[in-house]
Every structure is written in C-alpha cells, then in structure tokens.
Structure 1
Amino acid sequence: MTPLDKPLRRELTIEGQAYTLAIDPNGLKLTLRGHRNGVELSWKDIANGDAAIASALNASASHGDG
C-alpha cells in the first residue's frame, strides 16, 4: 500500500461549480475552486464517527451562521 505522505488534490464538479478536494495526512478539505476556505474533516473525526458534527460546525462557521 502507498502511504499518504503528501497532499493529493483533485478537482470535481458539484451542481455545476468546480471544487478542489485536498487529501493529506491530517484529513481532507473541500473548497470552492479559487478559494482558500472550505469544509475540513480530520481523519480522527471520521474514524470516531464525529465527521457529521464536525462537517456541520465547519459549514456553519464558514457561512457565518454561528
């Protein structure tokens, strides 16, 4: 198996908008293409089942809702 020792970036389209997905040893981050802020999830949160809560909090914070 190949270790994840450096960031891996891929572009994807969601509802007609381009996003960048970055996967690195700390977790993953989804951002609107050309922007810096996005939704981040750590591997720890995903492994512990806290991903839904972390995702909701990140989304709320990034949209100024919280």
Structure 2
Amino acid sequence: MTPLDKPVRREVQIGDQAYTLTIDPDGLKLVPKGKRNGLTLKWTELVNGDAALATALQASLASG
C-alpha cells in the first residue's frame, strides 16, 4: 500500500454544489469550493466513534 504522507485533494459534486475534499495524515476536510471553512474530521474521531459528536459541535460553533 501507498502511505498517506501528503494531502490529496479532489473535487466532489454533492447535489448542485461543488466541494473540495482534502485527505491528509491527520484526517479529512470537506469545504465548499471557493471557501476556506468547512467540515474537518480527524481520523481518531472517526475510529473512536466520536465523528457524530465532532460534526455536531462544529455545526453549532459555525452557526453561532
């Protein structure tokens, strides 16, 4: 297998919105294309089952 030692970026179309997905050694980040802020998820959160909690927290902070 190839180790993930640098960020990999891909464009993802979700509905009619384009997003940039970045996968790196720390986790992944999904950002609306042309923006800087988006959803960040660390691998440890995903593996430990804390992904839903982390996502809810980020959403509540972003709306405030």
Mapping 1:27-66, distance limit 5 Å: 27-62=27-62, 64-65=63-64
Q: How many residues align?
A: 64
What displacement does 1:8 show?
Answer: 0.4
TM-score computed with the length of structure 2 as normaliser: 0.93
List alignment gaps of at least 5 residues for structure 1.
none
Instruction: Determine helix, strand or coil for the equivalent of 2:3.
Output: coil
Partner residue in 1 for 2:16: 16
What CA distance in whole angstroms lies between the structure 2 residues aligned with 1:31 and 1:61?
16
Structure 1 length-normalised TM? 0.90
* Unaligned ranges ≥5, structure 2: none
Letter in 1 for 2:29: K
RMSD of equivalent CA atoms = 0.9
